Structures are given as C-alpha cells and as structure tokens.
Chain A
C-alpha cells in the first residue's frame, strides 16, 4: 500500500469531503421538507392529497436513485429544466430521500397511541391543536432514530452524483485513480472518510435521541 501517495492526495479528498457534507446537509433539509409535506399529504383528509402522497412515495422508492439523478440532470434539459450538476444532484437525492422520510414521519405519527388523540379531542382541542401540542411532540421523539437511518443512507447515497461529475468524494477518488492507477488506496481513503462522516453523524443522532427521551 502506497502510504506516501495517500499522504500526498488526502488534502484533495478532504476538500471533496466538504462537498459531500454540503450535499448531505442540503439533501437532509430538502428530504425533511419533502418528508413532512409527504407525510401530511398521506394522512390528509383529502383523498386527492393522499393519492398524491402515495404516488410520490411509490415512484421515488420504486426506482433507483441513480435513475432519478440521471433523469433530472440528463433528461431535464430536454423538457426545459437546466440545472448544474450539483443542483440536479441535490434535488434528485433530496426528493428521493424525502419519499423514505415521508414513511418514517408518518410511521412515527401513527405510532402515537390513539388514546392521546382521543384525550385531547375530548377536552375540545381541534385536530390541528391536537397534532401540534400532543401528537407531534411525542412523534418527534420517536422519529429521531429512524430518521437517523434515512440520513445514514442518504450520506452513502451522495456517491450517486459522482457519475454526473459533482466533485465530491467518490468522484475525486475516481479522478485520482485515472492519474495514479492505485484504485485500492484511493477507494480506501474515500471509504474511510465516508465512515468518519457517518460515525460522527450517528453519534450526533444518538445524542439527540437520548436528549429527547421522555423522562
């Protein structure tokens, strides 16, 4: 193993890791937004909204994320959507993970005991007041862990934008392989950095989960 080479190239990898982090963060934000809207739609009183929510989830969970990235980036211009690779990648991955988060959020909300809603409604609270003051505060605590699983998947999923030339970790590894012919070292280095990111994120989520636990 060529340690010297690793020591020479790792600053470039760290720079690329920042792009990966940025992708992950934006994707998480977009995913949580889509997930919240998706969950609201799926649990709505309106049949049409429920249908829209269900369709969203089945499309984005039912096709490879890579295809979704390709459709937006390569297919977009054909229908007048012109995005640079970073924007296309972020949007495609965010909307994709949002479909998974929809189900996570909905699951957490529905796992709150029905008696909670009944007690609140019996006091005279409206559907929305009940959701906001009774159900959501309990559901939020329960969704931290499963959302953590989604975020873990999303971090690894950021590698899917390498083929559209976003200069993130995986792409950078491939670039250096082209010039060094050392795939083992390059992928190992990228992998270690992914692992570090995922480890730290996982710790953060575990910490949040502990803090949010009901006493």
Chain B
C-alpha cells in the first residue's frame, strides 16, 4: 500500500449470485480527501460504499484503512471482533437515516459510545450535546425521532456517526429521501465537515454539491469506475462517452424537474 493512502481499495469485485455488481475496482483516498461517487442507478455505488465497512463484503479484493485490512479473512469469532472494532472508525450515513425510533435523540447518539467506548452517562451526554450543537440541533436533544423533520433526522444521524469519532465518513445518498427544501441544511453540515478536513466518500445524485465540496469525482457504471478526476474535469470536460451521456441525461432530468 502506498505511503499516503488512507483508504485503499484494491481489485474489489463483488457478485450477488451470478451477477457481478463490482468488477475490479481500485480506489485510494488520502486523509482529508473528499471523494464523490456518481453514476446511474444500479451501477454499484452503494455496494462499493457498503463494502468499505463490510456491510456487503467483497467477493474478492482488499479494503484497507490506515494500514489495517478491513476485510480480513478470519474465523467467525475473530472476524466479528475485528469488524466491530474497525467499524467504529468508519461512520456511515444512510439515505433513510435509520435512527432508532425507540430512543430519543440523546439515546441515539450516546448508545454506541457508552456501550463500546465505556463512556459514563455524563461523558456521553456531553458528547451528545457537543455533536448536536455541531449540527445545529441542541434544542432537540430530548425529542424522539418521530418528532423531527427529515432534514433534522439526517443531521442527528450524522451527529450519531460523528460521536464515534470516526476516521472516515461514508454517505449513501444522504439527501435523496429529503424534500427539496430540507436538502440544504444537510448539505451545510457536510460542507462544515469538509472544512474540518474529515475524510469523506459521498455517493450522491447532486452534481452541484459534488462539484462544490469534493476533491475528486468517480463516475461508476455497470460495476466499474469509468472515469475519475477533479470535479472541474468530470463535470465540464469528461473524456468518456458514458460519462457525458450520464451527465447530459442527469442535467436534462434535473432541469425538467425544476
């Protein structure tokens, strides 16, 4: 593995049965880098993201984070221990928030740090307050998720992930399930993380957002990375025909909707 690589994915392949979802993907992400993954539906973006934290383990290939191989082949018990450990370093935010509905915002944020990092209730509460302040939701600390708007839910989900002090954050279409007017508040939180140099891999359909915060953009189609480069290049002068087609269609759709 190279010296600077923080995250390295090597020869990643993944099949569901006979269906190859990922085909020989290579990707390195440096510390503090922000990478966007774009591509048509079904191209394997979520699968790639979920391979990074072993939610959808690869069929073959390797995933490394700071010199530690995430997808080590180990006997079951050791493997479980290993993934539980490495997952603490990888925050993930889902399209549908996945907040725990039976817990308050505070409970959502403090559950894992208390259980896994041995934080006392006081310490955990302080942590929750701190993270909530960061996403601008301090006053919601004792609410249940059902009382929050979609944008608020997603910000709490981000705070919950951040409370584990992850080394990298993965976002899988964090704003796709939101009403248009709630997208911006979540984007703002993500931008703020970018300013703090959080390493992030962001699967998104929002090209403007990708262009404004990301250092690099990957275009995926049918399980391969077709083209990658800085956002200026990918969005303004893509080399590959498939990338151009995708962006053209996407733009047409976005304009059609507006």
Report chain A residues within 8 Å CB of B55: 118, 121-122
On B, residues with C-beta under 8 Å from A are 53, 55, 80, 84-85, 87-88, 90-92, 94, 96, 98-102, 111-112, 115-116, 144, 146, 157, 160-161, 164
Given A115-B94, A133-B115, A214-B144, decide whether A126 and B101 contact each other with a Cβ distance below 8 A.
Answer: no
A98-132 contact mask (Cβ, 8 Å, vs B): 1 or 0: 00000000000000010110111111111101000
Cα–Cα distance between A122 and B207 once the two chains are bound (Å) = 27
A116 engages B112 (CB within 8 Å)? no
Report chain A residues within 8 Å CB of B99: 119
B164 engages A134 (CB within 8 Å)? no
Partner of A125, one of B116, B146, B161: B116
Cα–Cα distance between A141 and B102 once the two chains are bound (Å) = 10
- Asked if A77 is at the interface (CB within 8 A of a chain B CB), the reply is no
Partner of B100, one of A127, A129, A134: A134
On A, residues with C-beta under 8 Å from B are 113, 115-116, 118-127, 129, 133-134, 137-138, 141, 214-215
Report chain A residues within 8 Å CB of B53: 122
CB distance from A141 to the nearest CB of B (A): 7
Cα–Cα distance between A67 and B87 once the two chains are bound (Å) = 52
Given A123-B87, A123-B161, decide whether A129 and B94 contact each other with a Cβ distance below 8 A.
Answer: no
B98 engages A124 (CB within 8 Å)? no
Report chain A residues within 8 Å CB of B112: 120, 123-125
With A141-B102, A214-B102 given, name 18 new contacts (CB 8 A): A118-B94, A120-B112, A122-B53, A122-B87, A122-B92, A123-B112, A123-B116, A124-B85, A124-B88, A125-B84, A125-B115, A126-B84, A129-B115, A133-B115, A134-B100, A137-B102, A214-B101, A215-B146
CB distance from A87 to the nearest CB of B (A): 39
Report chain B residues within 8 Å CB of A125: 84, 111-112, 115-116
CB distance from A50 to the nearest CB of B (A): 16
Cα–Cα distance between A120 and B164 once the two chains are bound (Å) = 12
Partner of A123, one of B80, B88, B101: B88
6 contacts across the A-B interface (CB closer than 8 A):
A119-B100, A122-B53, A124-B85, A125-B112, A126-B80, A214-B101
CB distance from A138 to the nearest CB of B (A): 6
B146 engages A214 (CB within 8 Å)? yes
Report chain B residues within 8 Å CB of A122: 53, 55, 87, 90-92, 161
B111 engages A133 (CB within 8 Å)? yes
B144 engages A215 (CB within 8 Å)? yes
Report chain B residues within 8 Å CB of A119: 92, 94, 98-100, 157
Cα–Cα distance between A113 and B94 once the two chains are bound (Å) = 13
Partner of A124, one of B87, B96, B146, B157: B87
A127 engages B102 (CB within 8 Å)? no
Cα–Cα distance between A126 and B115 once the two chains are bound (Å) = 10
Cα–Cα distance between A124 and B118 once the two chains are bound (Å) = 13
Report chain A residues within 8 Å CB of B80: 126-127
Cα–Cα distance between A49 and B98 once the two chains are bound (Å) = 30
Cα–Cα distance between A134 and B145 once the two chains are bound (Å) = 14
A115 engages B98 (CB within 8 Å)? yes
Cα–Cα distance between A115 and B157 once the two chains are bound (Å) = 12
Cα–Cα distance between A103 and B88 once the two chains are bound (Å) = 34
Report chain B residues within 8 Å CB of A126: 80, 84
Cα–Cα distance between A215 and B55 once the two chains are bound (Å) = 30
Cα–Cα distance between A157 and B58 once the two chains are bound (Å) = 51
Cα–Cα distance between A129 and B113 once the two chains are bound (Å) = 13
Report chain B residues within 8 Å CB of A215: 144, 146
Name, among B85, B91, B115, B157, the residue most crowded by chain A CB atoms within 10 Å (CB to CB): B115
Cα–Cα distance between A118 and B53 once the two chains are bound (Å) = 11
B92 engages A116 (CB within 8 Å)? no
Report chain A residues within 8 Å CB of B146: 214-215
